[in-house]
Each structure stands twice: as structure tokens, then as C-alpha cells.
Amino acid sequence: GENVEQHPSTLSVQEGDSAVIKCTYSDSASNYFPWYKQELGKRPQLIIDIRSNVGEKKDQRIAVTLNKTAKHFSLHITETQPEDSAVYFCAAPNYGQNFVFGPGTRLSVLP
């Protein structure tokens, strides 16, 4: 089945700096990659997603890039703010049955 790796596991940045989280997947047939943000004690919330027919997608301060050849995709957050502090999960589809999630990245934005 699909295997998703995510790095780094923790990331601390100064407010205003950029943050980048990278995920790799194993199944070359995977075609849809969402990113979720989970604040402490809350549910995972979809923040951005990308399909395999595009290489990049942006939504204000958040962007996702996809490299199908290398089988990796990355989340980019620019001009980070304290409210960006959370755990971020990437995911990839597994044989169309479910999503396989990465282990998560704990992002801390320091004021």
C-alpha cells in the first residue's frame, strides 16, 4: 500500500519567516494530495490540496508544490504568524480506499 513520509517532525521559525514541510509518497498512481492543519485538541482541517495535473497551487500565504517524478510534495507557508502554530499532516490516497497520513510536523512560530 501507499507509504507517506513527512519531514521535519518539528519546525520552529521566527514570526514573519517562511516554513517548508516536505512529504514523499510511494505509489506513482496517487493523484491527489491534501494538507491538514490540526490545532491542539481540535480536528484536522483541510488547508490546501493539489491534484497531479498541476505542479503548484497557492492560496494567500500558503502554497503546495508537487514533483510527480520524484514523488514528493511540499507545503510552503510564507510570512508566518503565531496562529500558524499547529501540527500539519500531509496525506496521499491508498488504492482509492482511504488516505494515508504522514506522521505530522509540529510547527512553532516564535514571536
Partner 1 sequence: DAGVTQSPTHLIKTRGQHVTLRCSPISGHKSVSWYQQVLGQGPQFIFQYYEKEERGRGNFPDRFSARQFPNYSSELNVNALLLGDSALYLCASSTGPTSSGNTIYFGEGSWLTVV
Per CB under 8 A, residues contacting partner 1 are 31-32, 34, 36, 42-46, 49, 51, 89, 91, 93-104
Let me know: does 76 contact 20? Beta carbons within 8 Å: yes
Between 1 and 111, CB nearer to partner 1 = 1
Between 57 and 101, CB nearer to partner 1 = 101
Between 2 and 78, CB nearer to partner 1 = 2
Residue 95 CB, nearest distance to partner 1 (Å)?
Answer: 8
Q: How many CB atoms lie within 10 A of CB 14?
A: 9
Residue of 107, 84, 79 lying closest to 16 (CA atoms) = 79
